[in-house]
Amino acid sequence: MLLSLNLFTTLIILGIVGGMISLTVIVMILITEKEVDFLKIEKKRADLEVLLNESKLLHLSAQIQPHFLFNTLNTITTLIRLGKNKEAEQAIYSLSSLLRYHLDKKASLVSLKEEIKYAEQYLSIQKLRFGSRLEWEIHIPKELLEIKIPMLVIQPLIENACIHGIEPSVDGGTIVISASSKNEGLLLEIRDDGTGVNDDIISEFEQWKTENLSSNSETNIGLRNVHARLKEQFGKESELSIKRSGNGTISIITIPFLQSSQEISIREGGSI
């Protein structure tokens, strides 16, 4: 049977159109597969970035723990050398509580309340060493106690105040820990009225912050560690700054309040 010209033409057109549709479908499938592959790669990249950040935080935390332990054991050794065995025993008990805090806390963020409790335990150890030469005050509004901050950011600054402010002073001094809400963020201050940190230490720290110098040096490890972890977890809006305040020193931690699903709300309450 012979096909009419119109029918033949129609079949040719359908063949061409059908081929184009098939080709289009194939191309769309390939594009979709490429998009899926791209999304998978992006997800893997994002997961790797998270793991990298977590590994950085673990490295920074691991870096400060031996430093803290070494200095605390030095304090206990000093107590024993001075014949203050009862005080040394109390210090060892307090140290065990501090180490338990290190081991039990798996999250990189803890409440300000927990950090303050930890800081008080550390101060109690230093009190055994300095006696009446060391006093401290804590002024934290209750509505800020549940704010999340990086673990172990207050203790290194207290340690810094003890070493550079209280210890060199004949009369000792007072360490004041305070917190306030300012510009959508948390402002933590650790002050001492001792002799104050040497200007060279402050200059070196500020230079390291500005030029991102190598952190291989053992000097100012506590300050650099705190600043690095703040940047790692809260970005450029967070920082640690050190400056002279009269005869003493003030260390200031700035932390933005977290948003969205991680939002940390300020609870109503009084002050302590």
Domains of the chain, residue spans: 43-262
Q: What is the pTM of this model?
A: 0.68
Q: What percent of the chain has pLDDT over 70?
A: 66
Beta-bridge partner residues of 250: 191, 243
- The residue type of 162 is C
Cα distances (Å, whole numbers) of residue 18 to 28, 151, 214, 254: 15, 65, 65, 65
Helix (H, G, I), strand (E, B) or coil at 248: strand
CA 75 to CA 68: how far, in whole Å? 11
Superfamily of domain 43-262 in the CATH hierarchy: Histidine kinase-like ATPase, C-terminal domain (3.30.565.10)
Q: Which residue has the higher pLDDT, 183 or 146?
A: 146
Average pLDDT over residues 230-255: 89
What is the per-residue pLDDT for 143? 93
pLDDT of residue 223 exceeding 90, the answer is: no
- Residue 157: band (very low, low, confident or very high) from pLDDT cuts 50, 70, 90: very high
Helix (H, G, I), strand (E, B) or coil at 2: coil
Helix (H, G, I), strand (E, B) or coil at 192: strand
Strands (E), the chain: 109-111, 134-139, 148-150, 173-182, 185-192, 239-245, 248-256
Going by DSSP bridges, is the β-strand pair 185-192/173-182 parallel, antiparallel, or unpaired?
A: antiparallel
Q: Token match 């300000």: residue?
A: 112
- Residue 45: band (very low, low, confident or very high) from pLDDT cuts 50, 70, 90: very low
Q: What is the dihedral of CA 11, 12, 16, 19, to 10 degrees?
A: 50
Say how far residue 105 (Cα) sits from the centre of its chain.
14
CA 243 to CA 198: how far, in whole Å? 10
pLDDT of residue 97 exceeding 60, the answer is: yes
Short-list 176, 182, 75, CA closest to 134: 176
Q: Which two tokens stand for residue 2?
A: 């012979």
Q: Which residue has the higher pLDDT, 37 or 134?
A: 134
